[in-house]
Amino acid sequence: MTVHSQGAATSAPQDAPMKSAAAPPEAPVSGSDRGRPSPRGPRKSLPSGWLPYLLIGPAVLSLAVLLLYPLIKNVILSFQDINKIEFIQRKYPFAGFGNYTELLGDANFWTVVVRSFGFTLANVALIMVLGSLIGILLNKLGTKMRLVLSMALVMAWAMPIVASVQVFKWLFDEQFGVMNWLMRTAGFAGYEQHNWMETGLSTLVIVTILVVWGSIPFVALNMYAGLTTVSAELYEAARMDGANGWQTFWKIVFPNLKPFFLVTTFLEVIWVFKAFTQVYAMNKGGPDRASEILPVFAYVEGQSQAHYGLAAAISVLTIVILVVVMSFYFRLILKQEEEQ
């Protein structure tokens, strides 16, 4: 027993170094390191090389084919003197800046430019004001009435432009129009067969009503969505301070939704400035081309008058004018982002 106990006693210190040499003891793992991946484990590398470019390649190619190529061809066409005869004979004489100098020296072109800016300004102002008011109304209504009004807005927004133009042409028709009937019913004289599109100004007023009616839903629904992000505590604080509705809007709603107003106004300016379908389908830019804006002016010169090079120059100048105007607005948006 003594020998066995001694052997056991002497073997213990001999095994200890062997165990330590074969498997060194691991450091205790703390609670914060248990969820951390091992630094020696395999790492997933992000896509490198040509893979990201291959992924966005189809989208870039589609944009180049659908947008960039027609734009380049249009710019080239604007430097060529192509009319009906040249088009039939497939001759493309180079005109240099002749089309541009002709346009810049044409009083009719500048009249259309001023008309386009006035048309855009009136429409955007009405759209933003009325759309914001309806958005605030949506925020104040109950659930059922809000649903009904939202559905009505969506239906107006989803209506095709050409179909809505036909409805408005029927409303303002000389013989069977609803507006003439309403004016006669209200007791006004001279509306037996009144021509609401007798002048270019009256035609643009009708088109303005149509454009505003179709654009208000976008602003109203986005305005309502933005109002849901404003904390109710701010309204409560304003109410306790005795602020009225107008003061609450300027002190709480507008500062919190300033990015919404900037971006929405930017989009509306672009959409209204290039409003072609409503103006042309209503009265083809008439009477006597008195209701033409720049897109309609370019179309009439190109298709009706067969001045293809001149029409291309008009479209290029339209893009340049819009980019110059929007550059100031871009600076305002960037300044707003820097302040935030």
Residue type (1 letter), 118: G
CA distance 334 to 340: 10
Look up tokens 């408005």; give the residue: 168
Q: What tens digit of pLDDT does each residue of 275-294 get?
A: 899 999 998 888 888 999 99
**The tokens of 197 are what?**
């599109």
| pLDDT band per the 50, 70, 90 thresholds, residue 123 | very high
Start-to-end Cα distance in the chain: 86
Helix/strand/coil (H/E/C) assignment for every residue in 171-225: HCCCCCCHHHHHHHHCCCCCCCCCCCCCCHHHHHHHHHHHHHHHHHHHHHHHHHH
With CA atoms as reference, report the closest residue to 118 among 196, 197, 199, 201.
201
Q: What tens digit of pLDDT does each residue of 225-262 get?
A: 888 888 878 878 888 887 787 888 888 888 888 888 88
- What DSSP designation does 288 have? T
Q: Report whether pLDDT(199) > 70.
A: yes
Q: How much is the mean pLDDT over the chain? A: 82
Mean pLDDT of all residues in 309-333: 86
Rounded to two decimals, what is the model's pTM? 0.77
Mean pLDDT of all residues in 115-124: 94
Q: Report whether pLDDT(15) > 50.
A: no
- How much is the pLDDT for 244? 81
Please provide the DSSP assignment of 65-105 as one string. IIIIHHHHHHHHHHTB---HHHHHHT---B-TTHHHHHHHT
